[in-house]
């Protein structure tokens, strides 16, 4: 899953929620220019879409007009993440609850539009039970952990929330699915072989092929604009102690996402290359509209683990450039198919709360 590292950012919110006077006020009536920081030269006309809870993984429709995303907004009577969609220009999510796409049962993650924009795929645990599955215990001083729920499977729903098809039914975790811009393939992460690897399949779930084979967490994959490459995050345990810890956690349905780098490969898994060697957590990568660079989220520059910002880098690992400058959390960047817009999640200007909201901006290149 690409979920928000809440434990990492919670401390940061307490430290930095009062670092700017603007943070103490509501953004409901702010004009768009006041939502960005002065050094954020690549974005303009920044607009806040959601107001409360954790809102993340917002991904564009093929026609650039809609977003599908996950939220646990308590104002919408949610106990854990569910999938919604909304139009972008007409969105008024401060006043209105958007259309629910998932069942409202279990926990969901990682939704994405299919070609034609009338269907959305997502992963859900609802077949494993109606309740939200239990999150791992967070011990003081312990590592931050993600649960890799073995009840996650991938489903397709229409825009009214009616499930049309179940794409996976193998034992183990199947999630993190995204769709090629060519409209012919889905990439997803699965534990069907005992490790967290990338797989591709056709839009109907057929012709499943394993793409990565190295030990470690391969996830959060996206296709390049021409559909020929994949970019993803990966952990690569090296020492005997690291390998043992990784395998022990996987056997418990857990993974520690605090050491990850960005990788690229061809869509068939060939020509695998490591893009970043920054240390700490580098994740949520996405190709720029021209396919020449990669935007991603990282905490490598901060003294503490909670500060995540967006960065951009060339595929060969050169030209690292910081894009956003919030003092707590910016992540999940995604360009609209036409390359004109960027959507991402941020803790900016949340009034000192822990809410993570969606923001959309014009992209200036």
Instruction: Return the pLDDT at 352.
Output: 85
Residue 317 counted as domain residue: yes
- Of 2, 1, 4, the residue nearest 330 (C-alpha): 4
Question: Read out DSSP for 234-293?
Answer: E----SHHHHHHHHHHHHTTEE-TTSBEEEEEETTS-S-EE-----SBEEEEEE-TTSSE
Q: Where residue 188 falls among pLDDT bands split at 50, 70, 90?
A: very high
Return phi, psi of residue 242, to 5°. -65, -40
Residue 1 counted as domain residue: no
Instruction: Return the pLDDT at 144.
Output: 86
Low-confidence winner among 16-25, 38-47, 211-220, 306-315 (lowest mean pLDDT): 16-25
Between CA 17 and CA 331 the distance in angstroms is 18
Residue 254 counted as domain residue: yes
Output the pTM of the full model: 0.92
Residue 289 counted as domain residue: yes
Q: Where residue 302 falls among pLDDT bands split at 50, 70, 90?
A: confident
Residue 241 counted as domain residue: yes
- Of 341, 219, 322, the residue nearest 358 (C-alpha): 341
CATH number of the domain within which 57 lies: 2.120.10.30
Taking only Cα atoms into account, the Rg of the chain, rounded to an integer number of angstroms, comes to 19
Number of domains into which the chain is organized: 1
Q: What is the pLDDT of residues 267-283, one digit of tens each?
A: 999 999 999 999 999 99
Residue 176 counted as domain residue: yes
Domain range for 106: 6-363
């Amino acid at each position: 899953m690409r979920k928000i590292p809440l434990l990492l950012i919670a401390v940061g919110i307490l430290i930095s929620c009062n670092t700017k006077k603007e943070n103490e006020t509501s953004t409901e009536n702010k004009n768009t220019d006041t939502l960005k920081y002065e050094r954020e030269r690549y974005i303009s006309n920044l607009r806040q879409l959601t107001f409360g809870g954790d809102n993340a993984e917002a991904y564009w429709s093929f026609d650039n007009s809609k977003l599908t995303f996950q939220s646990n907004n308590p104002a919408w009577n949610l106990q854990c993440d569910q999938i919604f969609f909304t139009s972008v220009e007409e969105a008024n999510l401060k006043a209105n609850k958007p259309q629910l796409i998932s069942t409202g049962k279990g926990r969901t993650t990682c939704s994405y539009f299919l070609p034609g924009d009338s269907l959305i795929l997502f992963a859900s645990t609802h077949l494993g039970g109606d309740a939200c599955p239990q999150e791992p215990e967070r011990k003081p001083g312990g590592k931050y952990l993600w649960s890799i729920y073995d009840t996650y499977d991938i489903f397709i729903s229409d825009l009214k929330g009616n499930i049309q098809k179940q794409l996976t039914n193998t034992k183990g975790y199947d999630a993190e699915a995204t769709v090629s811009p060519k409209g012919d393939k889905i990439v997803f992460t699965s534990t069907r072989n005992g490790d967290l690897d990338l797989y591709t399949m056709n839009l109907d779930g057929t012709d499943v092929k394993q793409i990565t084979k190295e030990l470690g967490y391969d996830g959060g994959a996206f296709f390049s604009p021409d559909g020929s490459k994949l970019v993803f995050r990966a952990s690569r345990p090296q020492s005997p102690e690291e390998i043992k810890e990784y395998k022990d956690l996987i056997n418990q349905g857990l993974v520690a996402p605090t050491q990850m780098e960005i990788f690229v490969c061809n869509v068939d898994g060939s020509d695998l290359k490591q893009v970043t060697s920054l240390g700490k957590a580098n994740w949520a990568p996405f190709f720029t509209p021209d396919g020449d660079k990669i935007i991603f989220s990282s905490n490598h520059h901060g003294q503490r683990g909670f500060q995540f910002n967006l960065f951009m880098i060339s595929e060969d690992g050169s030209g690292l450039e910081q894009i956003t400058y919030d003092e707590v959390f910016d992540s999940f960047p995604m360009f609209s198919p036409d390359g004109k817009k960027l959507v991402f999640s941020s803790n900016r200007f949340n009034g000192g709360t822990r809410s993570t909201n969606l923001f959309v901006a014009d992209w200036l290149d």
